[in-house]
Amino acid sequence: MKNVFAVTVGLVVAGLVVFLLYILGPQFFTFPQGANPMDPESIKQNMHLIPKGAMILVIVAHCFGIVGGMIASTAVSENSLIPAYIVSGIIILGTIGGSLAMSHPTWSIISGILSVIAAFFIGRLAAIHKLNEE
């Protein structure tokens, strides 16, 4: 039961990290007029006009979300990396699915997939370190 709670906490933390970084996008990058950064359909229709920096921020958000979620789930679990692996798997699948569903450019899809895989390994090292601290 503790591991189920660990996965839940990890997903909540990952989601919050991703969301907080998502809402920074419009603060730093000018979105096309009429494009609502909080409306997936609007983003999909205006993808060709979205600034590259905003797309890179989305990739970074997913990476930080994976690492944060993995650390949080490991902290709650205290003795297993399995919740961290589940959290990262869900975020990785969500990243891939979202990239394809939102019609991201090819460079964004490829770099997004490669970066979340790299984030998994960084998160894994951080989670192992967390386990060894306790």
Whether the CB-CB separation of 71 and 49 falls below 8 Å is answered with: no
| Mean pLDDT over each residue of the chain, to the nearest integer | 90
- Asked whether residue 84 carries a pLDDT value surpassing 80, the answer given is yes
Measure the CA–CA gap between 33 and 44, rounded to whole angstroms.
Answer: 14
pLDDT for residue 134: 62
Residues 65-82 have a mean pLDDT of 94
What CA–CA distance (Å, rounded) separates 87 from 75? 13
Mean pLDDT, residues 83-99 taken together: 93
Look at the chain and report how many structural domains it folds into.
1
Two structure tokens written together for 37: 């950064």
Contact 78, 130 (CB under 8 A): no
pTM of the model: 0.87
Per-residue model confidence as pLDDT tens digits over 11-52: 999 999 999 998 887 788 887 787 777 788 887 888 888 888
Residue 92 belongs to domain spanning: 2-133
Q: What angle do CA 63, 68, 70 make, to 5 degrees?
A: 100
Residue 123: the pLDDT is 95
DSSP type of residue 78: S
Specify the pLDDT at position 85: 97
Per-residue model confidence (pLDDT) at position 125? 95
Q: What is the mean pLDDT of residues 81-96?
A: 94
The lowest-confidence range among 15-19, 38-42, 59-63, 82-86 is 38-42
Query: How far is it, in rounded angstroms, from Cα 98 to Cα 91?
Result: 10
CA 95, CA 81: separation in Å to the nearest integer? 21
**Residue 111 pLDDT:** 94
Q: Is 46 helix (H, G, I), strand (E, B) or coil?
A: coil
Alpha-carbon 82 to chain mean position: 18
